[in-house]
Chain A
């Protein structure tokens, strides 16, 4: 056993890998720095995965869960990957809760997971209007099955490698790839009206 002294050098200078163990041992400022450092990133994920209206809320949720789960962080993956897995779960939970709600009250079996293209339920005219803003993309993404969203976000927005995503989400690489390819295919279907309407070049 050794006396362990927690250094007081600026947390700004510490890597994530150092901040998390410090946080776990009671250094609030270390965790605060971790939060400040990653708030924008997590928010960006969430703005895509659940939409901007809910992104603030879910970003907070992710950090609260991270904080509560500090003791379970084992350091196998980088802290950023750990955050992503928490974010992934938060997205799935939110979507699941909502899907249940919809099924009960609308009687519709909305839960999907199928690889078929998803119908946006809009007319082309509506689509054209929605396309005027980037919100359309968000709306499209919100129609993806929840378990596809974070993988697609991490791959195509954040440009993580499949291996990183696989480690982060504790999924086999093959599963990650198939989720991403299905998610992309659905995105293409969802965004096709936008392209047909000439908003973007072929």
Chain B
């Protein structure tokens, strides 16, 4: 009875290997001849297969249709501070508490309606990848929108006012509120070829936007190109879709990296005319960068101005206060 070698099918391991087709040829031949004359082993092997087959066939009921939505709601309530901004989970668990301390945000921008541009661009196939940027609602922005900036072009060193420093490069988007409106000193000089990438939709006034966990998003890819997933041009969002996030790593001093890269140029061109909120991750926390934090501080110089692109640090970021020991790690731009 106990002799498994004479009755191989008494061993669960043997039956398992039989089932998986892992027996050696010799084992298999031996077992086949044994099974033919041993009812016990025949029965055992048949039961084994039947049990597995029953197990496999007994398909469980499908999940309730709202299960995913319930999970997303629980995720949302599990991370209320994150949900509030809809941007910043996953980087540091200490943030949850830190958001209570978060200061206030930046910025402006209004959405841009450029229907004619879009029409023009669609005609030019093969060109830059068209994107749809959603004109942002103001759900997360604590301050009312700043006035639409004047259209007066302005060159390099401008006033520090966060509201009145539009930089306009000549081109199809000259009437668009420049990024510099969002941050005093920023000057944008979008490359001519990157400018026509924007196809914006009319702003849709919306109530406060819930976290994306709250509801399924119907995102539709607008991409037509085959670029890598990190491509800055892969921006498309429809109303109700989450804000786009841009991460800019900082060095230990709070300085941003070289922004003269093509990526940065594209990014900043895309930002034009759209609301964004600057968040700074530092000291294990994330804070919003705020122009109202008017206290001058040497640190951090969040972005360095680059001569080639004319991009310089948003005023609000430079005014952010950091405590000694904070180590600014990166900027997050929430673009909506």
Q: Which residues of B contact A182 (CB under 8 A)?
A: 12
**Quick check: which of A48-56, A96-104, A119-127 contacts chain B, the rest being far away?**
A48-56
Q: Mark A21-46, 1 if CB is under 8 A from B, else 0.
A: 00111111101110110011001100
Instruction: Say how far A186's CB is from chain B's closest CB, in angstroms.
Output: 8
Q: Which residues of A contact B211 (CB under 8 A)?
A: 28
Q: Mark A1-27, 1 if CB is under 8 A from B, else 0.
A: 111111111111110001000011111
B52 and A156 contacting across the interface, CB-CB below 8 Å: yes
Q: Which residues of B contact A4 (CB under 8 A)?
A: 230, 246-249
A70 and B90 contacting across the interface, CB-CB below 8 Å: yes
Q: Which residues of A contact B64 (CB under 8 A)?
A: 56
Instruction: Say how far B254's CB is from chain A's closest CB, in angstroms.
Output: 13
Instruction: Say how far A106's CB is from chain B's closest CB, in angstroms.
Output: 28
B230 and A10 contacting across the interface, CB-CB below 8 Å: no
Within 8 A of A (CB), among B177-234: 211-213, 216-217, 219-223, 229-232, 234
What secondary structure prevails in chain A residues at the interface with B?
A: helix
Query: Could you show 9 A-B contacts with beta carbons less than 8 Å apart?
Result: A9-B221, A10-B220, A26-B245, A27-B242, A27-B245, A28-B89, A31-B90, A67-B79, A191-B51
Interface residues of B (CB under 8 A from A): 12-13, 15-17, 19, 43-44, 46-48, 50-56, 58-64, 67-68, 70-72, 74-75, 78-79, 82-83, 86-93, 131, 211-213, 216-217, 219-223, 229-232, 234-237, 241-242, 244-249, 251, 257-259, 261, 263-264, 266-267, 332
The 3 lowest CB-CB distance pairs between A and B, nearest first, are A185-B12, A47-B60, A181-B16
Interface residues of A (CB under 8 A from B): 1-14, 18, 23-29, 31-33, 35-36, 39-40, 43-44, 47-48, 52, 55-56, 59-60, 63-64, 67-68, 70-71, 115, 134, 137-138, 141, 152, 156-157, 177-178, 180-182, 184-185, 187-188, 190-192, 194-195, 200-202
